Structure 1
Amino acid sequence: MTRRAEPATEPDADGAEPGPLDAATGHDERRGTGRGGSGGSRVAAIVVASVAIVIVAIAAFAIGRLSTLDDPTPTNTSAEAGFARDMQVHHQQGVELALIVRDATDDDEIRLLAYDMATTQAQQAGQMYGWLSAWGLPQAGSEPSMTWMTRPVPGSGHDAHGSGAGAHEPGAPMPGLATPEQVAELRTLSGEAAERRFLELMIAHHRGAVEMADALLERSSNDVVTALARSIVASQTSEIELMQQLLAERSPTG
């Protein structure tokens, strides 16, 4: 039988959800203990990771402000512009998936993880929107999505992400992006079934984001853009490991 942690107190009268930093201060007792004895440590790990993401984002912004004058402005068909456009779309679906499961479960760990993912990816999408505006480029490109990932890696003479079994084609679905049918299916689920499907979809989604960030790092030396790409690789790789743990705990036994 599935055991589920119950909140220690009722939600605030105004219905506001506490942010991850509330838990870090120790003043919020509504996070629960999660599943088993290790639940509290996992929640703490999520909170620490969230704080680290904020610190990385602030540092990346500061570094970017100092280095912007040294970086040439990306062109409309550059890897930087393509990454900014496509990763915005990718992150927006990540926010959508996170909000769906946050409303479909009362599990504290999943809800906190979903909240952190939604806020982080929304902030990063806004950052990339701002880049395009600052560069004087349109939010919609003149080429199909993923075109930038099909171009050769500078200086290598080949396309590391555009050949072989994992080849990408202009206009093809972005790696890890859930299909409309999968998103619709998630909306029909609740409780542990929703948790399992969300974790499956988001693990694939994160792997796709890491692939896109790695492709950008191969093609760009822009300090502002590569700083965010590195933070995406680091944070989402860590979250993949956490989600694999959570999914294993929820795998049906037979």
Structure 2
Amino acid sequence: MDKPLRNPVLIVCGVLVLAAAAYLLFGRAGTPGDSSPEAGFARDMAAHHAQAVDMSFTVRDKRPAKEISSLAFDIINTQANQRGMFLGWLQQWGLDQAGHDRPMAWMSGHGHGGTASAASAASTGLMPGMASPEELARLKAADGTQAEVLFLQLMIRHHEGGVEMAEGLLDLSTRPEVVSMAKKIVQGQSSEIKLMTDLLRQRGAQPLPSILQPR
């Protein structure tokens, strides 16, 4: 005599359990890991943006010309919001806000200036375009047109570093939300670099030597 079929309810439950296990195992495979380019980009860019926001607050407190104040306000709003998104991604991915890798390690060996930027970050602790403690102190001590010029020079270089980092991410990732953000950074900060260069010329000054490398 044939053996009776197993309880259909138990069979269905077993299939659902296996499906759930497969989702947890394979569905999470696309989540960026701790040493992934996406995680490194989010962490480094969050720190990079934090300094831009700080410099913008510094110059706004000096009551600069209207166009400088408006620029600083835009940078504060844009980069503070983007920074919140970076930190939100890390939380969503189940990763710590501070990783174990050195700054810019995620760009090492991938060309387009990544190796140089990674080596510089390792030796100075600063990501591309970031102002040194001495430069930040000079900005805080400056007044009037001198403060405006120094802010523009430092922020142009800072934006160049942001563009370099975003372009580096675009070479390494296909994750939609991260790629979309990187493209926005390249476009937005490149536009602001042109604006700030014009504002410098109006003040009889020039940008610092560019850190961007040809792609």
* TM-score (norm. length: structure 1): 0.66
Q: Percent identity?
A: 45
1:144 aligns with 2:102: yes
> Residue deviations 1:188-236, cap 9 Å, x none?
1111111000000000000000000000000000001010000000000
- Answer whether contact 2:166 2:182 (CA < 8 A) is retained: yes
The answer to which structure has the higher helix fraction is: 2
1:168 alignment counterpart: 118
CA distance in structure 1 between the aligned counterparts of 2:59 and 2:170, rounded to whole angstroms: 31
1:237 aligns with 2:187: no
**Backbone CA RMSD of aligned residues:** 1.7
Structure 1 SS opposite 2:88:
helix
- Answer whether contact 1:105 1:194 (CA < 8 A) is retained: no
Structure 1: runs of 5 or more not aligned? 1-68, 153-158
Matches within 5 A, 1:1-12: none
- Answer whether contact 1:90 1:209 (CA < 8 A) is retained: yes
How far did 1:162 drift?
A: 3.6
Amino acid at match of 2:82: Q
1:217 aligns with 2:167: no
Q: How many residues align?
A: 176
> Residue deviations 1:52-104, cap 9 Å, x none?
xxxxxxxxxxxxxxxxx899100000000000000000000000111111111
How far did 1:246 drift?
A: 0.3
- Answer whether contact 2:57 2:76 (CA < 8 A) is retained: yes
Amino acid at match of 1:171: A
Structure 2: runs of 5 or more not aligned? 1-26, 206-215
Amino acid at match of 2:118: H
Matches within 5 A, 1:193-212: 193-212=146-165
Distance change >3 Å, CA 234–CA 212, structure 1 → 2: same
CA distance in structure 1 between the aligned counterparts of 2:64 and 2:33, rounded to whole angstroms: 46
How far did 1:142 drift?
A: 1.2
> Residue deviations 1:17-49, cap 9 Å, x none?
xxxxxxxxxxxxxxxxxxxxxxxxxxxxxxxxx
